[in-house]
Amino acid sequence: MGSGDPILKVFRSAGPVFAFDPIKDALAAFKAGEFLVVMDDENRENEGDLIIAATHCTAEKMAWMIKHTSGYICVALPGERLEELDIPMMVPDNQERHRTAYTITVDYKHGASHVSISSNHR
Q: Are 116 and 82 found together in one domain? A: yes
Of 40-44, 72-76, 106-110, which range is least confident? 106-110
Q: Are residues 36 and 66 in the same domain?
A: yes
For the chain, the domain total comes to 2
Tell me which residue of 57, 17, 51 sits closest to 37, measured CA to CA: 51
pLDDT at 41: 78
- Asked if 40 contacts 98 with a C-beta cutoff of 8 angstroms, the reply is no
CB 66 within 8 A of CB 122: yes
pLDDT at 80 over 80: yes
Same structural domain, 58 and 112: no
Residue 108 has a pLDDT of 66
In a shared domain, residues 82 and 42? no
Q: Which domain holds residue 34?
A: 1-74
pTM over 0.85, yes/no? no
Residues 69 and 83 in one domain: no
Q: Is there a contact between 60 and 1 (Cβ–Cβ < 8 Å)?
A: yes
The radius of gyration computed from the CA coordinates of the chain, to the nearest angstrom, equals 17
* CB-CB contact of 49 with 104 (8 Å): no
